């Protein structure tokens, strides 16, 4: 069974464990801190009650910023990322949010293909922003 739920700092351990298997973006304390912020929203997709993907985002007036997105490596390319983003797009429509923004490395081909699928466009580039020398691409999708 697949379902999407809102999550909070009580779920930070599961998020950290998933993150360790994907992009290793935040340590356990950072996950707790992030999910405790009252302006931060997060949703997770569960497969048979096991966390399979997470998206962390902020809503600032008419804009939504995705701060984190990943899907468990065993469940990639099964449409779970698509379900998470579609859930967010629905939320944007309900709340009159007009655009979604995010930042992604120019070397992250999987994510670039994924965001292209949803029609995100590059609106700004931070040259050599990441430690590996890749550029940071600021992407936008109007909704
Ligand atoms: C990016 C990510 C979240 C996509 O999640 P996913 O569940 O595998 O993606 P979906 O199955 O929903 O894919 C939706 C569409 O995106 C595109 N896409 C996704 N992964 C792709 C890949 N590896 N290569 C090419 N296209 C891809 C395809 O068009 C796909 O549709 P299709 O399968 O019908 O062809 C996942 O690859 C991931 O967790 N990557 C590591 C973390 C990361 O890089 N996060 C982004 C940081 S900004």
Q: In whole angstroms, what separates CA 2 from the centre of its chain?
A: 18
Per-residue pLDDT of the chain (143 residues), as tens digits, is 999 999 999 999 999 999 999 999 999 999 999 999 999 999 999 999 999 999 999 999 999 999 999 999 999 999 999 999 999 999 999 999 999 999 999 999 999 999 999 999 999 999 999 999 999 999 999 99
* Range of the structural domain that residue 105 is part of: 98-143
Nearest residue by C-alpha to atom 29 in ligand 1:
117
**In a shared domain, residues 43 and 109:** no
16 falls within a domain? yes
Q: Tell me, using a 6 A CB cutoff, whether residue 116 lines ligand 1.
A: no
What count of other Cβ atoms lies within 10 Å of the Cβ of residue 107? 12
Q: In whole angstroms, what separates CA 101 from the centre of its chain?
A: 10
93 falls within a domain? no
Does the pTM surpass 0.85? The reply is yes
**In a shared domain, residues 67 and 18:** yes
Q: Tell me, using a 6 A CB cutoff, whether residue 110 lines ligand 1.
A: yes
Q: Tell me, using a 6 A CB cutoff, whether residue 123 lines ligand 1.
A: no
Measured CA to CA, the distance from residue 112 to residue 122 in angstroms comes to 10
Question: What's the DSSP call for residue 48?
Answer: T
Q: Tell me, using a 6 A CB cutoff, whether residue 66 lines ligand 1.
A: no
Burial class (CB in 10 A: 0-12, 13-18, 19+), 81: buried
């Amino acid at each position: 069974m697949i379902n999407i739920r809102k999550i909070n700092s009580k779920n930070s351990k599961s998020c950290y464990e998933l993150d360790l298997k994907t992009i290793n973006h935040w340590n356990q304390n950072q996950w707790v801190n992030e999910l405790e912020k009252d302006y931060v929203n997060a949703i997770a997709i569960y497969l048979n009650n096991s966390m399979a993907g997470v998206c962390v985002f902020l809503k600032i007036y008419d804009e939504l910023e995705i701060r984190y997105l990943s899907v468990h490596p065993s469940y990639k390319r099964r449409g779970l990322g698509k379900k998470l983003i579609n859930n967010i797009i629905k939320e944007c429509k309900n709340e009159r949010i007009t655009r979604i923004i995010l930042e992604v490395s120019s070397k992250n081909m999987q994510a670039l293909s994924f965001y292209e699928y949803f029609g995100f466009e590059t609106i700004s580039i931070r040259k050599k922003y990441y430690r590996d020398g890749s550029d940071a691409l600021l992407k936008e999708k109007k909704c």
